């Protein structure tokens, strides 16, 4: 079997659709391809809480701590100077790319939707999984 080429935007991939959090993006891509229907509810792999899929990115953004002037991501321990940068970073935990027939395909790890460009996948995470009421 040929090697699957994947691209992560952060070291740790968070995939609530399969309840996984870790460095193995290949495993995530393969599991997402098996996903038949996007889940309404997902389980946060960080804290085990059940969260509505449309609010998952919002939920994940709560996994941070403020230390001095920095915001520290609880998932990967990266530090950020402001909330805006941190929020952008959180979305990057939820997008991975896979090389297929010479083209990069981008996945949302919350619902498994595919995108032809990274930007669209990140916008999707913002609009579809960061819904505030």
User: Binding residue for Zn ion (CB under 5 A) from 4, 41, 47, 127?
Assistant: 47
Q: Does 73 bind Zn ion (CB under 5 A)?
A: yes
User: Binding residue for Zn ion (CB under 5 A) from 29, 98, 111, 122?
Assistant: 111
- Cα dist from 116 to 41, 51, 77, 92, 96, whole Å: 25, 27, 29, 16, 12
Q: Does 108 bind Zn ion (CB under 5 A)?
A: yes
Helix, strand, or coil (residue 92) = helix
Q: Does 46 bind Zn ion (CB under 5 A)?
A: yes
- Stretch near Zn ion under the rule CB under 5 A, chosen from 23-31, 64-72, 95-103, 112-120: 112-120
Helix, strand, or coil (residue 131) = coil
Shortest separation between residue 26's beta carbon and Zn ion, angstroms: 19
Interatomic CA distance for residues 122 and 54, integer angstroms: 14
């Amino acid at each position: 079997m040929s090697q699957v080429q994947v691209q992560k935007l952060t070291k740790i991939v968070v995939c609530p659709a399969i309840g996984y959090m870790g460095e193995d993006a290949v495993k995530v891509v393969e599991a997402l391809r098996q996903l038949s229907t996007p889940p309404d509810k997902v389980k946060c792999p960080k804290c085990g809480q059940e969260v509505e899929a449309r609010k998952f990115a919002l939920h994940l953004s709560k996994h941070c701590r403020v230390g001095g002037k920095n915001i520290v991501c609880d998932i990967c321990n990266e530090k950020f100077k402001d909330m805006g940068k941190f929020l952008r970073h959180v979305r990057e935990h939820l997008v991975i790319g896979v090389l297929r027939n010479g083209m990069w395909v981008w996945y949302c790890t919350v619902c498994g939707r595919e995108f032809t460009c990274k930007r669209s996948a990140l916008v999707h995470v913002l609009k579809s999984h960061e819904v505030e009421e």
